[in-house]
Chain A
Amino acid sequence: GENVEQHPSTLSVQEGDSAVIKCTYSDSASNYFPWYKQELGKRPQLIIDIRSNVGEKKDQRIAVTLNKTAKHFSLHITETQPEDSAVYFCAARASSYKLIFGSGTRLLVRP
C-alpha cells in the first residue's frame, strides 16, 4: 500500500525567512497530493493541493512542487509570519480514493 514519509518533523525559522517541507510517496499510481495545516486544537485544513499532471502550483506565499520521477513533493512557504506556525501534513492519494498522510511537520516561526 501507499506510504508517505515527511521531513523534517520540526522546523524553526525566523519570521520573513522561507520554510520547506518535503514528502516522498511509494505508490507510483498516486495522482493527488494535498497539504493540510493544523493549528493547535483545531481540525486539519487544506491549504494547497496539486495533481500529478502539474509540476508546480502557487498561491500567494505558498507553493507546492511535484517530481513524479523521484516520487517526491514539497511545500514552500515564503516570507513566513508567526501565524504560519502550525503542524503541516502532506498526503497522497492513489486510485483507492483514500488519503495517506505523512507524519507531520511542526513549524515554528520566531518573531
Chain B
Amino acid sequence: DAGVIQSPRHEVTEMGQEVTLRCKPISGHDYLFWYRQTMMRGLELLIYFNNNVPIDDSGMPEDRFSAKMPNASFSTLKIQPSEPRDSAVYFCASRLAGGETQYFGPGTRLLVL
C-alpha cells in the first residue's frame, strides 16, 4: 500500500502565479480531505469529497481556492492567483467509508514569494 500520494512535495512560486497541488488517495477510499497547516491557524479543513463529490467546502478561504476530484484516484487543489499568505503546508487525507482512520499524505510545502 503506497499510502496517500501528494505532489509536488515542495513548491516555491511568486505572488500572482497559479499553483496546483495534486493528491492520489489510498485505493478504495471513498473520502478525500484537503487541509492547510500553518503555525498561526493550525490544521484547517478546507474541503472534503465523498465518492468524488464535494460535500463541504466551507473551509475554503476565498474564491482564489478551488478543488476538484475528477475520479476516485485523483484530486487537485488550485490557488489562482496565489498570495504570500497562502504559504503553508497543504495535506491531503483519505478515509474508507465505514472506517474511522484518516490517513494523511506527506504534504506539499508551499512558499509564495
Contact = CB atoms under 8 A, between A and B. Distances in A.
A103 B37 CA distance: 10
Contacts of B48: 97-98
Contact of B43 (A34, A44, A45): A44
Give the size category of B's interface with A: 10 to 19
SS class of chain B's interface: helix, strand, loop or mixed? strand
Interface string A16-37: 0000000000000000101000
Nearest to A43: B104
Nearest to B4: A43
A42 B45 CA distance: 18
Contacts, number: 42
Contacts of B105: 43
Interface string A64-101: 00000000000000000000000001000000111111
Contacts of A51: 100
Interface of A: 32, 34, 42-46, 49, 51, 89, 96-104
Given A43-B104, A49-B100, A51-B100, 14 more contacts: A34-B101, A43-B91, A43-B105, A45-B104, A46-B102, A89-B43, A97-B55, A98-B33, A98-B48, A98-B56, A99-B45, A101-B43, A101-B45, A102-B42
Interface of B: 31, 33, 42-43, 45, 48, 50, 55-56, 91, 100-107
